[in-house]
Chain A
Amino acid sequence: MNTELELKHLENNFKPLSEGVDFSSLRFIREKTEALSVRQDIVQPLGNTVDSGVMLTVMNGGGIGYASTSDLSLLGLQAAFEIAKDWAKISAGRAITNFSAIAMPHPSAEYQSPVKTHWSSTTLTDKLDYLREASEALGGPESIVDWSASLRYVDTESLYLTSGGGRVHQHLTHLMPGLTAVANRDTNTQRRTFVDSCQQGGLELLDAMGYKDRAQNLSAEAIALLDAPNCPDGTMDLVLEPDQMLLQIHESIGHPLELDRILGDERNYAGTSFVTPEMFGNYQYGSELLNVSFDPTHEQELATYKYDDDGSKAEKVMIIENGILKRPLGGIISQNRGKQTGASSTRACSWNRPPIDRMANLNLEPGKLSREELIGNVQNGILMNTNLSWSIDDSRNKFQFSCEMGRIIKDGELGGLVKNPSYRGISATFWRNLQGVGDAQSRQFLGTPYCGKGEPNQVIRVGHASPICHFANIDVFGGES
């Protein structure tokens, strides 16, 4: 059955089912993944996955229930609908909120990621040859003990139907490239990776992100780190490149502002938040230079969509403006529960997990300083690239992050390399030390497919764009060996 027919079949079968309850929805996902990798110049086993199914959600009598199935026949949908209805009955009166009182939207839309060079426009042989060349550029020197080049392509087709006639059809394509070089001498092992340039689109993204160029110089950086001294310890200025800002934004702005965490849903697993509801609208989250937007509308960013998984329209909103906390990241259900404005941020990782509050694209808006001006303002500090290690408490406050590579900054000039650079801080005060924000020229649109959260657990794609940033008076340290 072709896709158009299959979607029509789902629509026809859902319509009669959806009647007789306060609200119901069907969310169909078909996700095709192709993963290609060349490690040490050897083509690795290919990954080909087609994952498809539906989730039926029922809100009735104040309760809620869902049922997921890969059986898309009428009987399969009917059975799933009855299970969802039973769960709604069981939870009615004992649920965290009166779900029937929430006015769920019934949107209508079509959306497709813009793609210039489609994945299927080149043959499997061509793509493997491309990765072989990248692998060959990474390998060679004796001290490079492991290396690999990879491409992951994910094509996600979804259909969201509601009992009120809503219909949203979205077709998203994601490209997630990777490069890794590992250098070793004795027990000193250093690695450099290029894994954060994940975006929506086609193969045209590879040239734009400079994939081949990175393959040319990544191993040299890993080898140079073998001879570098450990990062010095002390309180000093810290400059973070966009590929570390990604993690910094994600862990200490994104997660603490998720409304479901603030409402306590995640307290048993992902954690709570140091942010409390009364902070919105007045709390000084960071210095006046801090401007953060939630933007699921940027065409190329990894977590872009037209409507979220509860049917709310994707819109860019400011989360932090001039350092002041404005609103949480919470979708329609959390907004109703928490009596807060929020964002169109409810998403599920697939057809077999229910939607929860997520980040989508969370971006730090550019400032006015050129990269050179920003570094020129640092008297004594460290520049850090590429996240290596991350850890933060369950309230998203006390953090400690490590990077793959550091460089000394002295009197406004970049100096020598340092290895094992790390820093620690507290979210509630760290952002107030933001001293400089790079301009749009220094901004990179990055993303990761590995944001974990939720019970049952879900791993989802998120996008983060950021310029280079400068922080003052940070506790910086290095490794032991």
Chain B
Amino acid sequence: MNIAFKTSTGTRPRLIASLLIIDELAHISYGYSTYEYVGDPINILNILSGFEVDEVLVIDLSASRANHLNLNLMRRLRAVSDFPLSYAGGIRTMNDANAIMQLGFDKLCLNACNPNLSILLLQISQYYGAQSLAVSVDYTATCNKRYIYNPYTRNVTQLSLASAVDALPVNLFSDLLFSSVPRAGSQTGIDIDIIYDTSIQNLRNPIVISSGLGSNGRELLAQLTELHSGVAGLTASASIFLQSVHSSALVCLERHY
């Protein structure tokens, strides 16, 4: 098996804390279907700052569902963050993108199923640069084949992961996040096999693997670096905010940092 499919860059792979917000409160997602409250997002970002976290991805699920950006909360989150901060949720127009970027966010993350994806990628990359954009791809696996999950309709589509990736204008954005829906919140391990998927082997974008990470994030990143796997980062959520699966809320970074 050829695992050295991509030239290693000098950047150290990042461990990205994923902060899911529902009704202004931080939550953990379990398989994109049930959610557990884990704390106040501002307090969590303060704690993450103390741990010198590599990067944080804020996902405002309420903004996505209500079609309304919570700029007041985002402004307060940016104010307590001295680390790279990305935003996802409810970006439908260039005006939405401007509103978030003008608060000082460093990157916008758009879902591959966003109905305005093509025009948004073009407009935002032209204005802010490709480094200010990431694209997330949600998927499930059936019979060893990966299919795209559409978070807007909450359905698994017939579109294969390979077809979805092929259709992306990869020069218009930077990070490409792959999120396994069933693994979200499970802490049962990431879908590492995705790095062998031929559809992503020739991409020059930084690849970030999301969902399923257990408590071994830093060790796993070291192994991936040693293997020149091409993985640029992992996102962590449940493994950071919960001491064990379904346990009480706790920011628990010692195992990672």
Decide whether A and B assemble into one complex.
no
Instruction: List residues of chain A with CB under 8 Å of any chain B CB.
Output: none
